[in-house]
Every structure is written in C-alpha cells, then in structure tokens.
C-alpha cells in the first residue's frame, strides 16, 4: 500500500476511535431523547419530549427523528456495545406515536424508518420492527399521485398548497419502498418508487447534472407547473444538500433495481457535484450562491461523502477512484476543521445549515453526525444494512 494511503487509513482509524469515545458519553447522557440540534450550552434538544406542544410536523413527527436511532445502530455495528443498541430500540418505539397521530406524517418516513425499524429488522430479525417498516412503506406508497407519477412531499402545515408538490429529497425515501417489495415479494411498492424516480429524472435533473429542489405539479392532471429553489439560493440554483440527496438516492435506486439509467443519473449528478467542490473541501449551502455571505453546510458534505462512497462501489474502476478520493477529502476536511470531539457540545459535526435563507446558520444537526459516521464506516470498508 502506498505511504499516503497508509497515512490516510490510520487517520481514519484514529478519527473513528475519537468518535466512539465521544459517542459513548453522548449516548449515556441522551438515552431516551430524540435529538435534532443542540442549545447554546451544547446540550441536545429532544423532539420526543411530550411536555412540549409541538406543531404537527415537528415533535415526534420531525423528519430527522430516525437519525439518532440510526446513529446508535451504526455505533452498535462498530463497537458491539449493548448501550447503543438499547438507545436505538428506545427511539424506534417512541416513533410509534407518529402512526397514532397520522396527520403529521409525511414522505420522510423513509428517513425516519430506514435507519430505525428497517435497520433493526435487518440486524436482529425483529418482527415488530418489520411491521413498523411495512406500515411506514404503506403510508409512503399512499402519497403517490398517479396523475403525475410523483410522491407528494409535505402536508398543509408547510404553507401554500402542497398537494402537487414533490421534492428532490424524496429520492432517499424510495429505499423504504424497495425494501417493502423485497420483504413481501410484492412489486407494487417498487413500481411506485420507479415511477417517482422517472418523474425526477425528467423534471428535476438538469442537462448539466445539477438538480432543482422543488417541482409543483397540477395534482388533478399531473401537468408540470414550475420548479422552485426551495432550501437553496433561488430558482435555477443548486442547493448542495439536494444534489447529495439526488446522487445518493439514484445510487440506491440502482442498487435495488440494477437499472443502468439510475446509475447513469447518479454519475451525472456526482460529476457535477465534484466539479463544484471548492479546493478548501468546505461545502457551501448552494453551489450557485453568491460569494458572500459564505454560508456552509457540513451536512451536505457528509451526505455527499457517504453517497460517493456507495457510488464508488457500483461504478467502473476509473470513476470509482475519483468518487472515493472526493469522498475521502470531504470527510478528512470535516474531521480536521469542522468536527468537535470534545465534551462541550453533544454533536460532532459543526456548521450545518438547514436552508440558505433561514435566519440561523452554522449549527449542528443530528443527521450530519449520522452521515458522517456512515461515511467513516464505509471508508473502513463496512457493508451497512441501511438504504
Ligand atoms: N429533507 C430536508 C432537508 O434536507 O433539509
């Protein structure tokens, strides 16, 4: 092995050791919570807190609520320590309240149930978890609009008329439908996933490999109405996390179906993303944002990294190396410049941004820690039972 490769490998090992050390502490301190972000003291919040009156789409229905459990499963895979598994199992059961509430549930059940119930079922064979996964998959399938062949993203509480609205993020939720088909030997779920993926190829993916965030369709006729900048800078821009969801999502669609058009689309988006990555390795919120303010999104960086590592396992030899080395650079940059392994903050990955035009930027988000860990494990060669 070349000297440089060996150095990188031992750096990855050292980072993983520091991560495990921190996560043992964080797990002990936060067991029973479902965190999204930290407060001014660096303490995790709790989306499962029943004493708070949450808006319908927040609280237990918040779209990131699967990532704490998923992070705990990843740590269990790495260490085999039962504290992590217990924390994951607690959060999976807490999510049962979403099924009871129903109206707050949305298309992000993939993000919520793949890293919790489905990962649990794949690791332990737990039948209760399988049922939870199937229930969530049925809810996702129920959001499909056959007039326009798209899965409706959000509910009324997001403002405007969301009945004909689809968003790029949903490409990652499709894995729940593929899983359901594989579990039940019933192609209905896969048909819906593929119909949606084709709509995304047609209306979201641009010629240059960039993607838009939101597309509105007429929910009666299915006709295309317009596309929107969404969480990115604006119309025609290129929200970096959206590019990551698209690249990773099409890679996952390829892995479940073997269809080359999905692999080609993932590679087209990957090529575009790599061409946009700055020399610094720090990822902006939008690849087409103005130079100032220079808002960053570490979350986009780690999702891109994990997606590129997954893609590198499917692509031809020459491109595979390109994807892997881009991913490695992203993860090493986060580890050296944006990771907090200390005790002052519950989260590791810093400087995430939910949306370009939000008032708040550069804060921790639970899914950044999840995808950072996923990418580190993939760099170490792990095969992960998720997506
Ligand atoms: N799926 C919503 C986001 O990436 O912010």
User: Which of 37, 57, 58, 63 to probe ligand 1 with, by most ligand atoms within 8 A of CB?
Assistant: 63
**Ligand 1 atom nearest 108 alpha carbon:** 1
Ligand 1 centre and the CA of 370: distance in Å? 14
CB contact set of 261 (below 8 Å; sequence gap of 6+): 201
For 349, the token pair is: 């990955």
Q: Which of 45, 58, 120, 169 is an active site residue?
A: 169
Whether 169 is catalytic is yes
Q: What is the pLDDT of residues 320-369, one digit of tens each?
A: 999 999 999 999 999 999 999 999 999 999 999 999 999 999 999 999 99
Whether 218 is catalytic is no
pLDDT of residue 3: 81
State the Cα–Cα distance between residues 32 and 30, nearest whole angstrom: 6
Domain of residue 123, CATH code:
1.50.10.10
Is residue 384 domain-resident? no
Ligand 1 centre and the CA of 85: distance in Å? 26
Please state the φ and ψ torsions of residue 159, each to the nearest 5 degrees: 90, 155
Residues with CB under 6 A from ligand 1: 63, 169, 231, 241, 354
- Whether the bond between 4 and the residue before it is cis, its omega within 30 degrees of 0, is no
Is residue 158 domain-resident? yes
Q: What is the pLDDT of residues 28-47, one digit of tens each?
A: 999 999 999 999 999 999 99
Is residue 70 domain-resident? yes
State the Cα–Cα distance between residues 176 and 66, nearest whole angstrom: 13
Is residue 279 domain-resident? yes
Tell me the mean pLDDT in the region 180-193.
Answer: 98
3-state secondary structure of 255: helix
Structural domains of the chain, count: 1
Ligand 1 centre and the CA of 365: distance in Å? 11
Supply the range of the domain harboring residue 234.
Answer: 2-379
User: For the ranges 31-35, 102-106, 195-199, 246-250, which has the lowest average pLDDT?
Assistant: 102-106
Rounded to a whole number of angstroms, the distance between the first and last alpha carbons of the chain is 31
Is residue 386 domain-resident? no
Is residue 259 domain-resident? yes
What distances in angstroms separate CA 385 from CA 91, 272, 307, 321, 333, one per listed residue? Answer: 18, 28, 14, 23, 26
Q: What is the pLDDT of residues 241-282, one digit of tens each?
A: 999 999 999 999 999 999 999 999 999 999 999 999 999 999
pLDDT(157) > 70: no
Q: Which residues pair with residue 216 across a beta bridge?
A: 165, 226
pLDDT(160) > 80: no
What distances in angstroms separate CA 79 from CA 13, 19, 244, one per listed residue? Answer: 13, 11, 28
Is residue 387 domain-resident? no
Ligand 1 centre and the CA of 1: distance in Å? 39
User: Which of 106, 115, 243, 245 to probe ligand 1 with, by most ligand atoms within 8 A of CB?
Assistant: 245
pLDDT of residue 7: 82
CA 263 to centroid of chain Cα atoms: 18
Q: Which helix (H) or strand (E) holds 316?
A: none
Is residue 271 domain-resident? yes
On whether the CB atoms of residues 130 and 86 are closer than 8 A, the answer is no
């Amino acid at each position: 092995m070349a000297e440089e490769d060996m150095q990188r490998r031992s750096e990855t090992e050292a980072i993983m050791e520091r991560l495990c050390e921190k996560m043992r502490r964080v797990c002990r301190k936060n067991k029973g919570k479902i965190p999204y972000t930290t407060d001014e003291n660096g303490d995790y919040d709790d989306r499962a807190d029943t004493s708070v009156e949450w808006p319908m789409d927040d609280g237990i229905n918040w779209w990131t609520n699967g990532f704490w459990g998923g992070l705990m499963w990843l740590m269990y895979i790495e260490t085999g320590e039962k504290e992590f598994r217990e924390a994951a199992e607690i959060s999976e059961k807490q999510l049962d309240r979403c099924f009871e509430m129903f109206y707050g549930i949305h298309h992000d059940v993939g993000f919520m149930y793949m890293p919790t119930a489905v990962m649990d079922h794949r690791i332990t064979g737990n039948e209760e978890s399988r049922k939870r996964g199937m229930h969530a998959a049925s809810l996702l399938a129920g959001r499909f609009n056959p007039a326009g062949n798209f899965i409706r993203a959000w509910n009324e509480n997001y403002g405007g008329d969301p009945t004909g609205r689809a968003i790029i993020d949903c490409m990652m939720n499709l894995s729940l439908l593929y899983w359901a088909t594989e579990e039940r030997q019933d192609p209905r779920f896969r048909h819906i996933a593929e119909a949606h993926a084709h709509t995304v190829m047609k209306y979201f993916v641009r010629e240059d490999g960039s993607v838009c965030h939101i597309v509105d369709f007429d929910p009666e006729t299915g006709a295309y109405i317009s596309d929107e900048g969404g969480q990115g800078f604006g119309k025609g821009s290129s929200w970096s996390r959206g590019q990551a969801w698209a690249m990773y999502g099409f890679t996952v669609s390829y892995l479940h179906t073997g269809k080359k058009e999905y692999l080609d689309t993932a590679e087209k988006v990957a090529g575009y993303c790599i061409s946009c990555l700055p020399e610094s390795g720090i990822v902006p919120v939008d690849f087409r944002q103005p130079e100032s303010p220079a808002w960053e999104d570490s979350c986009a960086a780690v999702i891109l990294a994990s997606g590129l590592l997954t893609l590198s396992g499917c692509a031809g030899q020459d491109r595979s190396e390109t994807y892997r080395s881009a991913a490695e650079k992203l993860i090493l940059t986060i580890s050296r410049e944006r990771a907090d392994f200390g005790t002052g903050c519950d989260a590791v990955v810093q400087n995430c941004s939910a949306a370009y035009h939000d008032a708040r930027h550069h804060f921790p988000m639970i899914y950044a820690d999840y995808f950072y860990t996923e990418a580190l494990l993939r760099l170490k060669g792990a095969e992960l039972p998720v997506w």
